[in-house]
Chain A
Amino acid sequence: MSSTTNASSTTRPSDHIPPRVRRRTSAVGVPLAALIAVAVLPFLVSDSGLGTLSYSAVYAVAALGLTVVVGQTGQVSLAQPFFIGIGAYVAAYGSAEVGLPLAAAIVIALVIGAALGWAVGWMAIRIGGVELAIVTLGLVFLGDYIFHEWRSVTGGEGGMGVGELSLSVFGFDLEESTGFTRAQIMFWALWIVVAIVAWSVHRVLSQRPGRAMVAVRENPKAAEAIGVDVRFYKTGAFAISSALGALAGVLFALLQQYVTPADFDLEIALLLIAMIVLGGQDRISGAIVGAIIVYGGSHWLAEQVDNPLLAPILKSSESDAGFISPGSFSTLVLGVLIVVVLCLRPSGIVGAVTDAVGAVRRKRSTSGNELPNNDAGLPRIPSTEEVA
């Protein structure tokens, strides 16, 4: 990611910008710190911790896609697991049965995801709001059905192993030639993908398409009146979002090496929404922070059976004396976290942090003419000390 300095300072009448849209706080500092964190973490964190963070990266890509639709155009889509699943099965089937290389799997997944997303966006032109959320929820169940029943391609309920997708760049096998472990390489590779995706989304959204999408969200009729092609941007937002979902699916298959229908169910849809809302749905960093907190945090909690503080509450088996199983405990904490964050700060955690930083700096500039996604790139990774 070469440039996170937001050069395209756009001129918009500031009274159109909702209050939650904040000015850029640190366009260079935060991404730089995040990059350094990504570079050094694999030397500090155990392989299982890196695995958790790698899964967080996969969900961050999917959540970034969701941000484009939910945060930018204001449409609620629950369909993302459907697209993640498609990407994952493209990678699994392609590598195991056809012998596709990774790059080809990524391209095919992006194309299929974008095409299907375009179709969903076409639906979103007609119906919106709660109805759209419910129809897109239908896609999750449809995907669940297809992944279960189309056994020749998906392997049915038992799932399907991923074939040989070697981690190589220009025929140069990274794992063999560098001496790093697979977990380290996956961590770097996936977070570099997150950085590239975040930067690309930032570039798209900070220019005309992004402004058009915000206009569509705030007032579609006014947007249409000033010449924004509302249909085009709505369907386009869904296409981008779904393509990123499918990309996340390929990465998921690459990381997990095995895909089952249960990886793309209703719970993932709700978790993805929780990620972008907890992080802050109208900013790019929100999706990433949300993915780390929701996936990384709950995974970390679920592993704390031996933690001296939590051991009395948690039970490792049905016969154990504890009160609650680790998995349920992390679900409980996540639920409480969602409720508390939303009640205190509907703008999400990143919004709260940004506000706090702004309050400390005490220099509210009047140039509030930035787009919401102004701190693109990787945020500080809050849960790393805990994971270590």
Chain B
Amino acid sequence: MSGSEFIQTLLSGLSLGGTYAIIALGFVVVYSATRVLSFVQAGAVLAGGYLTYALGPLGAGMPFVVAALVSAAITGLVLMLAGELVVGPLVRKGERDAASIATIGLYFVVVALVDAVFGVNPRNLGDPWGLDTIEVLGATVAVSSLWKVAISAVLAAGWFLILQRTRVGLGMRAMVSDREAALAQGVQPRRVTAFVWVVAGATAAIAGTLLATGSGGVNSTLSTVPFLVLPAIVLGGLQSPVGAVVGGMIIGIVQQFTALLQPEFLPALGSRFASIVPFIVLLVVLLLRPNGLFGTRAVQRF
């Protein structure tokens, strides 16, 4: 592995990890607000990619950026509706497991609708970032990777601004640290959760768009990616936004380095090895640090 290969892989790892981090943030923040693991996030990633395609230059003709933003807005609002109509009532009844399973049902609905509208043929979002490359520290890197890193960073920063600087974010953090006390202080959980659903849906849609640009393409595997991101949220600790970002980054970087190094040094492991790396990282971390990296989670005694 040469120095320039290292930098290229690091950057592509950062770009993939940034997207993972955005998806992981959605999981974590929804979980914090509702205590429900929302599988429908996977549907939001899928729908976001396809909507951007449908609205974008190759579809309805909107400029790419506008299409991506409109797709994010639509996905966010639809996810909020689903969250408030399906997940919210179940959570208020105390049926959190049922709510989580209901999000699997919603996920099936999204997958089926996307398939009904777009069929099985993969679509192409093109290369909105261009195919240019630039020199970074002596290595040739694609501008598109830099764009993806930058967008992920902006989105993550936006999440943290919301969490740290707005009233809704304050309410959410209060609900995470002590739900009853937060209610007693006048935090309105329904406003908080509605807001969280919108932002989680919108950012998931943008993550889907990012995954689908370039060589990725818009296809049904977009909905599998969020399941591979799930280890990131355990790595970071389920309710820790910082943990989600770090976990997503680690998994993205480790995955890219595995894809670079494993065919060379351990070819016997086969071409699919990179896809299970997130879970191997998770197992190793859980063995060494059962709390997760930023864990507030108490390890159970039995």
Question: Which residues of A approach B to under 8 Å, CB–CB?
Answer: 76, 125-128, 130-131, 133-135, 137-138, 141-142, 144-145, 148-149, 220, 224, 230-231, 234, 266, 270, 273-274, 277, 318, 323-325, 327-329, 331-332, 334-339, 342-343, 346
Complex A-B: 20 CB contacts under 8 Å: A76-B97, A127-B300, A135-B282, A135-B286, A138-B279, A141-B275, A145-B272, A231-B302, A273-B101, A318-B119, A328-B115, A328-B116, A332-B112, A332-B116, A335-B111, A338-B101, A338-B105, A339-B109, A342-B86, A343-B86
Given B98, B112, B272, which contacts A328 in the complex, CB threshold below 8 Å?
Answer: B112
Question: Which residues of B approach A to under 8 Å, CB–CB?
Answer: 31, 37, 39, 86, 89-90, 93, 95, 97-99, 101-102, 104-113, 115-116, 119-121, 224, 227-228, 230-231, 233-234, 238, 269-270, 272-273, 275-276, 278-279, 282-283, 286, 290, 297, 299-300, 302
A192 vs chain B, min Cβ distance (A): 30
A52 vs chain B, min Cβ distance (A): 19
Is there an interface contact between B116 and A325, defined as CB atoms closer than 8 Å?
A: yes
Is there an interface contact between B93 and A346, defined as CB atoms closer than 8 Å?
A: yes
Is there an interface contact between A343 and B90, defined as CB atoms closer than 8 Å?
A: yes
Distance of A274 Cα from B100 Cα, bound (Å): 11
Distance of A346 Cα from B105 Cα, bound (Å): 13
Q: Which of A127, A128, A134, A324 has the largest count of B CB atoms less than 10 A from its CB?
A: A134
CB-defined contacts of A145 to chain B, threshold 8 Å: 270, 272-273, 275-276
Given B90, B98, B109, B286, which contacts A335 in the complex, CB threshold below 8 Å?
Answer: B109
Is there an interface contact between A126 and B300, defined as CB atoms closer than 8 Å?
A: yes
CB-defined contacts of B290 to chain A, threshold 8 Å: 126-127
Is there an interface contact between A277 and B302, defined as CB atoms closer than 8 Å?
A: no
Is there an interface contact between B234 and A131, defined as CB atoms closer than 8 Å?
A: yes
CB-defined contacts of B108 to chain A, threshold 8 Å: 270, 331-332, 334-335, 338
B259 vs chain A, min Cβ distance (A): 14
Given A230, A327, A328, A342, which contacts B105 in the complex, CB threshold below 8 Å?
Answer: A342
**Nearest neighbor of B232 in chain A, beta-carbon distance:** A134
**Nearest neighbor of A229 in chain B, beta-carbon distance:** B302
CB-defined contacts of B106 to chain A, threshold 8 Å: 335, 339
Q: A133-B37, A138-B276 are in contact. Are A342 and B297 (CB under 8 A)?
A: no
Give how many A-B residue pairs fall within 8 Å (CB-CB).
145
Is there an interface contact between A149 and B300, defined as CB atoms closer than 8 Å?
A: no
Known interface pairs A126-B290, A266-B224, A328-B116; 5 further A-B residue pairs with C-beta atoms within 8 A, sorted by A's residue number: A138-B231, A138-B279, A149-B270, A270-B39, A339-B106
**Nearest neighbor of B223 in chain A, beta-carbon distance:** A266
Given B89, B93, B97, B286, which contacts A127 in the complex, CB threshold below 8 Å?
Answer: B286
A45 vs chain B, min Cβ distance (A): 27
A262 vs chain B, min Cβ distance (A): 13
Is there an interface contact between B104 and A338, defined as CB atoms closer than 8 Å?
A: yes
Q: A331-B108, A343-B90 are in contact. Are A274 and B101 (CB under 8 A)?
A: yes
Distance of A338 Cα from B105 Cα, bound (Å): 5
Is there an interface contact between A343 and B107, defined as CB atoms closer than 8 Å?
A: no
CB-defined contacts of A277 to chain B, threshold 8 Å: 98, 101
Distance of A121 Cα from B283 Cα, bound (Å): 15
Is there an interface contact between B275 and A126, defined as CB atoms closer than 8 Å?
A: no
Distance of A339 Cα from B106 Cα, bound (Å): 7
Closest 8 CB pairs of A and B: A338-B105, A335-B108, A138-B279, A332-B112, A335-B109, A149-B270, A324-B116, A331-B112
CB-defined contacts of A126 to chain B, threshold 8 Å: 286, 290, 299-300
Q: A134-B230, A270-B104 are in contact. Are A332 and B109 (CB under 8 A)?
A: yes
Distance of A131 Cα from B235 Cα, bound (Å): 9
Given A76, A141, A224, A342, which contacts B90 in the complex, CB threshold below 8 Å?
Answer: A342
A181 vs chain B, min Cβ distance (A): 34
Is there an interface contact between B112 and A324, defined as CB atoms closer than 8 Å?
A: yes
Given B111, B120, B300, which contacts A128 in the complex, CB threshold below 8 Å?
Answer: B300
Q: A318-B119, A343-B90 are in contact. Are A337 and B105 (CB under 8 A)?
A: yes
CB-defined contacts of A342 to chain B, threshold 8 Å: 86, 90, 95, 98-99, 101-102, 105
CB-defined contacts of A334 to chain B, threshold 8 Å: 105, 108
Is there an interface contact between A142 and B105, defined as CB atoms closer than 8 Å?
A: no
B137 vs chain A, min Cβ distance (A): 34
Distance of A144 Cα from B230 Cα, bound (Å): 17
Q: A126-B290, A149-B270, A329-B112 are in contact. Are A336 and B105 (CB under 8 A)?
A: yes
**Nearest neighbor of A274 in chain B, beta-carbon distance:** B104
Is there an interface contact between A142 and B119, defined as CB atoms closer than 8 Å?
A: no
A292 vs chain B, min Cβ distance (A): 18
B204 vs chain A, min Cβ distance (A): 17
CB-defined contacts of A324 to chain B, threshold 8 Å: 112, 115-116
Distance of A237 Cα from B99 Cα, bound (Å): 24
